């Protein structure tokens, strides 16, 4: 086979890139090791930045998002028994939209297939070759038959555990592992509040969010080595009630638990994000803890840069945007990495926390909710920083 851009990974990054390239008349093939059913059902983040929503609209895949997405103009911060609402729209003139990552994936898959896009699922033994030359290759096995894809560029959008990053020689990897994890549940229960609640409690962090007006998404801080079997539904609900309770009489809505799991937390950045004709995007190059809701949004920002850089190459003969990809992308990545670390550190109880560090965290939170400057800084990062200038392709 022959195409212009070979994309490894059919998550939001790979699928969105394929869609944005198609709108410019640039061909691509997407290879995914999992089944279509698996990637469409995989529960992940659901808070979309303002710019992510705009990008999905530009890509022509936002019809269902605009109909079903929950627009949030504020968020709630809860500590010391009180709830404080930050008005995002008032602070920075924009908000966020709650719409599950798996729904974004469904929309992108449908759009690509409707347009005749080449998406291949359940691909095995994927390997990358000749990345230093002008004709890189991807070899793979599809339905027990060997295949080979010749292309101009390879984009590794295959996640943290994928093969692509290993093909960047001399890379530097920065990593921080947090001393806690999240126990998350999906519940068949209407959210108790219309906006997200971030809660710091002496027993640990808790988050009240949602996926729809009928489905709540809730999290508890737990130890990294926590055994999920030790958390029956009754214990989870009891702990959520404790940590999310406040002096204003908040009442948690409970229901059937549809899904639950434990997610470890790490910060990870790999640089550079490219080598020869290989370009990395999304979790293949960076991971952030979910506290700041940046994971998928960073992937979209990477892809937005890549789509314009590849468009400039094919439509205008330019190579400068591709050459600057790592530097440009990492500016946002490191800002989001710091914001995610800050939110995580401020809201979680450290295993060795003492009265002094607890009071420091409370003072930090009090500053956020009482100072317009601090609240604005949080809102600016949470709703998404402006994109780099959108360059002309020609």
Q: Catalytic residue positions?
A: 72, 198, 290, 294, 382
Cα–Cα distance for residue pair 278/274, rounded to 1 Å: 5
The answer to whether the beta carbons of residues 60 and 38 sit under 8 Å apart is no
- H or E segment and range at residue 336: helix 325-347
Which residues have a Cβ under 8 Å from the Cβ of 110 and sit 6 or more positions away?
A: none
Cα–Cα–Cα angle for 351, 353, 355, rounded to 5 degrees: 160
DSSP 347-383: HSPPTT--HHHHHHHHHHHHHHHH-HHHHHHHHHHHH
Looking up tokens 């790490």 gives: 266
Which residues have a Cβ under 8 Å from the Cβ of 330 and sit 6 or more positions away?
A: 269, 271, 273
The answer to whether the beta carbons of residues 7 and 30 sit under 8 Å apart is yes
**End-to-end alpha-carbon separation of the chain, Å?**
29
Q: What are phi and psi of 178, to 5 degrees?
A: -85, 150
Burial class (CB in 10 A: 0-12, 13-18, 19+), 285: buried
Cα–Cα distance for residue pair 381/376, rounded to 1 Å: 9
**Given strand 278-280, what is the order of strands in its sheet?**
118-120, 28-31, 5-8, 153-156, 278-280, 274-275
Identify any residues that bridge with 70 across adjacent strands, giving them in sequence order: 98
Cα–Cα distance for residue pair 198/202, rounded to 1 Å: 14
Residue 334's CB: how many other CB atoms inside 10 A? 14
- The alpha carbon dihedral of 151, 157, 163, 168 has a sign of positive
Question: What's the token pair of residue 174?
Answer: 């920065």
């Amino acid at each position: 086979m022959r195409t212009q851009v070979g994309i490894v990974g059919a998550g939001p990054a790979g699928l969105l890139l394929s869609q944005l390239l198609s709108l410019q008349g640039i061909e691509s093939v997407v290879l995914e090791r999992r089944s279509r059913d698996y990637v469409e059902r995989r529960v992940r983040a659901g808070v979309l930045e303002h710019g992510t929503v705009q990008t999905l609209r530009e890509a022509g895949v936002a019809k269902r998002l605009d109909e079903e997405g929950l627009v949030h103009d504020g968020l709630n911060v809860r500590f010391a028994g009180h709830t404080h609402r930050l008005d995002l729209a008032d602070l920075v003139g924009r908000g966020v939209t709650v719409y599950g990552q798996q729904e974004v994936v469904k929309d992108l898959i449908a759009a690509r297939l409707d347009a005749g896009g080449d998406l291949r699922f359940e691909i095995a033994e994927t390997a990358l070759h000749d990345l230093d030359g002008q004709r890189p290759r991807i070899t793979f096995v599809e339905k027990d038959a060997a295949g080979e894809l010749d292309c101009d560029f390879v984009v590794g959008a295959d996640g943290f555990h994928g093969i692509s990053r290993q093909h960047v020689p001399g890379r530097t990897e920065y990593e921080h592992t947090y001393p806690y994890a999240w126990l998350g549940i999906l519940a068949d229960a209407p959210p108790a509040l219309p906006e997200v609640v971030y809660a710091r409690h002496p027993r640990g962090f808790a988050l009240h969010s949602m996926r729809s007006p009928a489905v709540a998404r809730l999290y508890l801080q737990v130890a990294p080595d926590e055994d999920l079997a030790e958390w029956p539904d009754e214990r989870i609900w009891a702990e959520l009630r404790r940590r999310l309770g406040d002096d204003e009489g908040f009442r948690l809505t409970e229901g059937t638990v549809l899904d639950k799991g434990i997610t470890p937390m790490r910060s990870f950045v790999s640089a550079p994000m490219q080598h020869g004709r290989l370009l990395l995007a999304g979790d293949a190059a960076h991971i952030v803890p979910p506290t700041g809701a940046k994971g998928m949004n960073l992937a979209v920002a990477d892809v937005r840069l890549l789509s314009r850089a590849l468009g400039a190459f094919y439509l205008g003969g330019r190579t400068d945007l591709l050459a600057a990809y790592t530097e440009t992308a990492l500016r946002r990545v490191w800002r989001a990495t710091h914001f995610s670390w800050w939110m995580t550190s401020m809201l979680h109880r450290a295993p060795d926390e003492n009265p002094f560090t607890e009071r420091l965290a409370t003072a930090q939170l009090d500053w956020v909710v009482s100072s317009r400057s601090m609240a604005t800084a949080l809102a600016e990062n949470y709703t998404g920083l402006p994109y780099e200038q959108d360059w002309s392709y020609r």
